[in-house]
């Protein structure tokens, strides 16, 4: 019997293999950070860290995903003020 799924979580080991092959990252380790309409994982490969986002099929068009990624890249480049402190994405003062 087959049963339709509304949401499933991709197997981290299989996803790490796809990340290694697609992006050329040696031995990536994935940590699921947030599960929702999109699953967000931290990818650690040696000293390199990045974020992987897996979108639910049919949720966004390629153009919408592209806009979101461009917006996130824009946010990374500007400091964000929070109260009296400033957030610096590089972690350096």
Structure tokens belonging to residue 69: 């990624």
Structure tokens belonging to residue 54: 């897996």
- Rounded to two decimals, the pTM is 0.66
Burial 28-47 (b: 16+ CB within 10 A, else e): bebeeeeeeeebebebebee
Could you report the per-residue pLDDT of 58-86, keeping only the tens digit for each? 888 899 989 988 998 888 887 766 554 55
Q: Spell out the domain ranges in the chain.
A: 12-80
58 to each of 62, 66, 79, how far by Cα in Å? 10, 14, 33
């Amino acid at each position: 019997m087959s049963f339709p799924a509304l949401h499933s979580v991709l197997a981290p080991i299989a996803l790490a293999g796809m990340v290694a092959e697609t992006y050329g990252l040696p031995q990536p380790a994935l940590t699921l950070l947030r599960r929702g309409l999109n699953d967000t994982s931290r990818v650690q490969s040696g000293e390199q860290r990045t974020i992987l986002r897996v979108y639910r099929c049919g949720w966004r068009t390629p153009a919408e995903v592209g806009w979101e990624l461009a917006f996130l890249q824009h946010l990374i480049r500007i400091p964000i003020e929070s109260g009296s402190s400033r957030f610096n994405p590089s972690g350096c003062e």
